[in-house]
């Protein structure tokens, strides 16, 4: 059996803020099409890891390889154009642009680069409409983000990440504070995306969601990876129980 080349290789990544060590030699790999869950207590470095992967922060040591390319030193927009997209924990929509224009941005600045050619106006309309329908926001396409509810903003956030036509989507706590049915909505959406071949890293506190969604689970505590494997095995790991679940 031939091994599939990993989509994402994180090798011994460390990040400090002054004297504080946020990430301490974190390594992991993600294979194409995988559903990886990333959990850990507050302050364990999950968001820092995401920021280092996506280029919002630069790690002092270690390398990150995406799709075979070493992305160290690349800016965030370059990585997005390679195929790495993320949603933000606290939604950051473009407040002066309508929903459809919010989705236009990744299309005309990332997806076109990945495709190698510009989209026509008709294609942009179509693609944006498609994405809005996917998240159930097409009725509000011309509205501004300030007219959206919390969960709608989360969906817009995911739709915008999708607009960049990514191979890897990192969903950073997209479900915090949502109701049961809203969480189901988001999970179904992520499911559908994964079926289309998109690799997903789900960062969450909501254990039920993470357990049902992930094929593999990684646990981060105090900047170190303490577990990496089958979700059922990981949550029974005594160290994980002590460090995280026991809290």
Partner 1 sequence: MRSWLFTVVVIVAGAALFAVSRFIQNDYFFFAGYVVLQYIVLSTAWNILGGYCGYVNFGTAALFAIGAYTSVTIHKLLVTSRIYPVSIPELIIIAGVVSAIVGLGIGYLTLRLRGAFFSIATLALAVVIQTFITNWDYVGGSRGAYVIRPQTAPLVGSYIQYLFLVMLVLAVLSIAVARLIERSRLGYGFATIRDDEIAAEASGVPTLRLKLIATTLSGALMGMAGAPLPYYVGYLDPASGFNLAYAVNSIAMPVIGGTTTWIGPLIGAVLLGTLQQWVTVTISSAVSLLIVGLLLVGFVIVAPNGLVGLMRPLFERRHR
d(CA 135, CA 210): 20
Q: Is 96 in the site for partner 1 (CB under 8 A)?
A: yes
Q: Which C-beta is closer to partner 1: that of 109 or that of 130?
A: 109
Closest CB 58 distance from partner 1, rounded Å: 13
Q: How far apart are CA 165 and CA 160, in angstroms?
A: 10
Distance (Å) of CA 71 to CA 27, 63, 130, 197 = 15, 8, 30, 22
The answer to the question of residue 69 lying near partner 1 (CB under 8 A) is no
Beta 216-221 vs 35-39: how paired, if at all? Answer: parallel
- Of 10 and 161, CB closest to partner 1: 161
Closer residue to partner 1, CB minimum distance, 56 or 176: 56
CA distance 165 to 85: 8
Question: For partner 1, which residue of 22, 85, 131, 220 counts as binding (CB under 8 A)?
Answer: 85
Overall size of the chain counted in residues: 247
Nearest-angstrom CA–CA distance, 133 and 68: 33
Binding segment for partner 1 (CB under 8 A), chosen from 12-20, 80-88, 132-140, 217-225, is: 80-88
Tell me whether residue 118 or residue 236 sits nearer to partner 1 (CB atom).
118
* Beta strand ranges found along 101-190 (DSSP E): 168-172
Q: Which of 9, 32, 76, 123 binds partner 1 (CB under 8 A)?
A: 76
What's the token pair of residue 137? 């926001």
Instruction: Please report whether residue 56 would count as binding partner 1 according to CB under 8 A.
Output: yes
Q: Is position 211 an interface residue for partner 1 (rule: CB under 8 A)?
A: no
- Measured between alpha carbons, how far is 173 from 91 in angstroms, rounded to an integer? 10
CA Rg value for the chain: 18
**Which residues between 111 and 140 bind partner 1 (CB under 8 A)?**
111, 113
Chosen residue from 44, 47, 48, 110 binding partner 1 by CB under 8 A: 110
Are 158 and 189 in contact, with CB atoms under 8 Å apart? Answer: yes
Binders of partner 1 in range 143-182 (CB under 8 A): 160-161, 163-164
Residue 167 CB, shortest distance to partner 1, in Å, is 14
Q: Is 95 in the site for partner 1 (CB under 8 A)?
A: yes
Contact status: 35 vs partner 1 (CB under 8 A): no
| Degrees, nearest 5: CA angle 205-173-139 | 135
Residues in contact with partner 1 by CB under 8 A are 54-56, 75-77, 80-81, 85-86, 88, 92-97, 101, 104-106, 108-111, 113, 160-161, 163-164
């Amino acid at each position: 059996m031939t091994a599939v080349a990993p989509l994402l290789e994180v090798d011994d990544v460390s990040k400090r803020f002054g004297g504080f060590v946020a990430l301490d030699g974190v390594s992991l790999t993600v294979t194409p099409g995988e559903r990886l869950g990333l959990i850990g207590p507050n302050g364990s470095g999950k968001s820092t890891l995401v920021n280092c992967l996506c280029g919002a922060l630069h790690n002092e040591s270690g390398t990150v390889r995406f799709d075979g390319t070493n992305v160290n030193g690349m800016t965030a927009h370059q990585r997005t154009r390679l195929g790495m997209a993320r949603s933000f924990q606290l939604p950051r929509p473009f407040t002066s642009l309508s929903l459809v224009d919010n989705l236009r941005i990744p299309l005309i600045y990332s997806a076109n680069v990945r495709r190698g050619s510009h989209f026509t106006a008709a294609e942009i309309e179509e693609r944006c409409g498609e994405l809005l329908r996917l998240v159930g926001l097409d009725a509000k396409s011309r509205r501004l983000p300030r007219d959206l509810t919390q969960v709608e903003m989360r969906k817009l956030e995911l739709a915008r990440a999708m607009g960049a036509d990514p191979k890897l989507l990192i969903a950073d706590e997209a479900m915090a504070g949502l109701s049961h049915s809203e969480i189901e909505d988001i999970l179904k959406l992520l499911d559908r995306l994964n079926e289309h071949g998109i690799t997903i890293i789900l960062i969450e506190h909501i254990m039920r969601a993470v357990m049902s969604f992930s094929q593999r689970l990684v646990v981060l505590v105090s900047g170190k990876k303490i577990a990496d494997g089958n979700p059922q095995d990981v949550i029974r790991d005594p160290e994980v129980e002590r460090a995280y679940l026991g809290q």
